[in-house]
Amino acid sequence: MLFAQKQELGFTLGGLIPRERAPIDVRGGLALQFNYGRVIVKNSNVALLGEVHLLASPLRDVESRVPTAVRDFASLYLTPGLRVQFRPDARFRPYLTGGFGYAQYHSSELLQNGSASPVRDRQHTWAGSVGGGADWQLVGPIALRGDLRHWFSPSPRFNVPNTGLRQHTVVSGGFVIRL
The pLDDT score that the predictor gives to residue 1 is 41
Residue 2 has pLDDT above 70, yes or no: no
- Per-residue model confidence (pLDDT) at position 4: 58
Q: What is the pLDDT of residue 8?
A: 95
**Residue 104's pLDDT is what?**
94
Q: Where are the domains of the chain?
A: 2-178
Residue 9's Cα: distance from chain center in Å? 15
Q: Is 124 helix (H, G, I), strand (E, B) or coil?
A: strand
Q: Say yes or no to pLDDT of 20 above 80.
A: no
Distance CA 177, CA 93 (A): 14
| Of residues 80, 82, 85, 76, the one with CA closest to residue 103 | 76
Segment 16-41 mean pLDDT: 88
Mind listing the pLDDT tens digit for each residue in 105-140?
A: 998 888 888 888 877 778 899 999 999 999 999 999
Q: Domain 2-178 belongs to what architecture?
A: Beta Barrel (2.40)
| pLDDT score, position 24 | 79
pLDDT at position 3 over 60: no
Residue 179 CB-density burial (10 A; 0-12 exposed, 13-18 middle, 19+ buried)? exposed
Please report the pLDDT score of residue 162 as a whole number.
67
- Give the separation between CA 100 and CA 67, rounded to whole angstroms: 34
Q: What percent of the chain has pLDDT over 70?
A: 93
Are residues 178 and 88 in contact, defined by beta-carbon separation less than 8 angstroms? no
